[in-house]
């Protein structure tokens, strides 16, 4: 039997992310930024790089790509995950990163009349789900995963299972 090749780096990232029960969205984001980091440094292996290369990449994201501050934070988290959890390399504190600017815009929120107009154009399951999202503030994926057993009409509450961070929580059931 021929010796098997060790798994590719991004496959290792996926495996560790799944062992740590990361959401699929987090796993995909991490793989994307790790791959982008490697490509940014001309396909150099991360074991051959360190804090200066991470600093250069994150500064590139902020300056040249003009990404949002939260996007830059996700990229940093992905790289720290790669080094600490996958490669088992402890990095020194990374200083002097050019930080992306936080958005000064206020979030856009629908008025009650706009919500009524949207709900008036929906029916069936879509109307039910959008009404629950609006009335409870739960995330879209949480609303789509709801089951009948999660609704408690006596106590007017909804059990949100496996929400963000794989946690269950209770929220109110709107009238």
pLDDT at residue 86, rounded to an integer: 93
> If we measure between CA atoms, which residue out of 103, 119, 99 comes closest to residue 111?
119
Residue 80 and residue 146 in one domain: no
Q: How many domains does the chain have?
A: 2
Spacing of C-alpha 130 from chain mean position: 22
Tokens 């154009």 appear where? 121
Same domain for 116 and 82? no
- Within-domain flag for 99: no
Nearest to 37 by CA among 52, 15, 16: 52
In a domain, 106, yes or no: no
Instruction: Using the structure block, give the residue that is written with the tokens 């088992």.
Output: 88
Same domain, 79 and 143: no
- Residues of the domain holding 42: 9-86
Does any domain span residue 66?
yes
Structure confidence at residue 2 (pLDDT): 58
Residues 14, 77, single domain; the answer is yes
Digitized pLDDT (tens) for each residue of the chain, 175 residues in all: 556 777 899 999 999 999 998 888 999 999 999 999 999 999 999 999 988 999 999 999 988 898 888 899 999 999 999 999 999 988 888 777 777 777 677 778 889 999 999 999 999 989 988 998 888 888 888 888 889 999 999 999 999 887 777 788 888 888 7
Domain-located, residue 103: no
Q: What is the pLDDT of residue 174?
A: 83
Question: Does 165 fall in a domain?
Answer: yes
Q: What is the pTM of this model?
A: 0.66
Q: What is the pLDDT of residue 108?
A: 83
User: 16 and 80 share a domain?
Assistant: yes
> Residue 3 falls within a domain, yes or no?
no
The answer to whether residues 34 and 71 belong to one domain is yes
Structural domain contains residue 163: yes
Question: Quick one: pLDDT at residue 1?
Answer: 58
Domain of 71: which CATH number? 1.10.150.130
């Amino acid at each position: 039997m021929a010796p098997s090749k060790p798994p590719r780096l991004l496959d290792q990232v996926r495996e560790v992310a799944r062992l740590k029960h990361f959401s699929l969205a987090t796993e995909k984001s991490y793989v994307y930024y790790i791959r982008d980091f490697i490509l940014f440094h001309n396909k150099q292996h991360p074991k051959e790089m360190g804090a200066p290369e991470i600093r250069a990449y994150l500064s590139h994201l902020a300056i040249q790509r003009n990404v949002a501050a939260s996007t830059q934070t996700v990229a940093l988290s992905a790289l720290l995950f790669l080094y600490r959890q996958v490669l088992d390399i402890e990095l020194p504190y990374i200083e002097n990163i050019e930080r992306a600017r936080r958005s000064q815009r206020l979030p856009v929120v629908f008025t009650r009349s706009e919500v009524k107009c949207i709900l008036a154009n929906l029916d069936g399951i879509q109307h039910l789900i959008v009404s629950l999202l609006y009335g409870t503030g739960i995330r879209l994926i949480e609303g789509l995963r709801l089951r009948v057993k999660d609704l408690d009409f006596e106590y007017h509450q909804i059990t949100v299972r496996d929400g963000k961070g794989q946690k269950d929580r209770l929220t109110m059931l709107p009238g």
